[in-house]
Amino acid sequence: MKKTYLLEDLCCANCAAAIERDVAKISGVNGASVNFLTTKMILEVEEENYEETLKRIKKIVKKNEPDVTIKEI
């Protein structure tokens, strides 16, 4: 399934690239794209265990950019 999230307060292009790279490595994520200019993260994730995958994604985002708030759009 495809999900889009807004990464509020994303302030660094390098952080966006790191988030994209780290999220793409998670099992259950088939694709990840983070656009620094629009502050959007687009994910292609498996429906099975989606909630657990989302928790792992949020941890990665917070690790790379602690001030970011993630909102589904």
Would you list the domain boundaries of the chain? 2-72
Determine contact, residues 71/5, Cβ cutoff 8 Å: yes
d(CA 28, CA 44): 9
The architecture CATH gives domain 2-72: 2-Layer Sandwich (3.30)
Q: Tens-of-pLDDT digits for all 73 residues of the chain?
A: 999 999 999 998 999 999 999 999 999 999 999 999 999 999 999 998 899 999 999 999 999 999 999 999 9
pTM: 0.90
d(CA 52, CA 63): 17
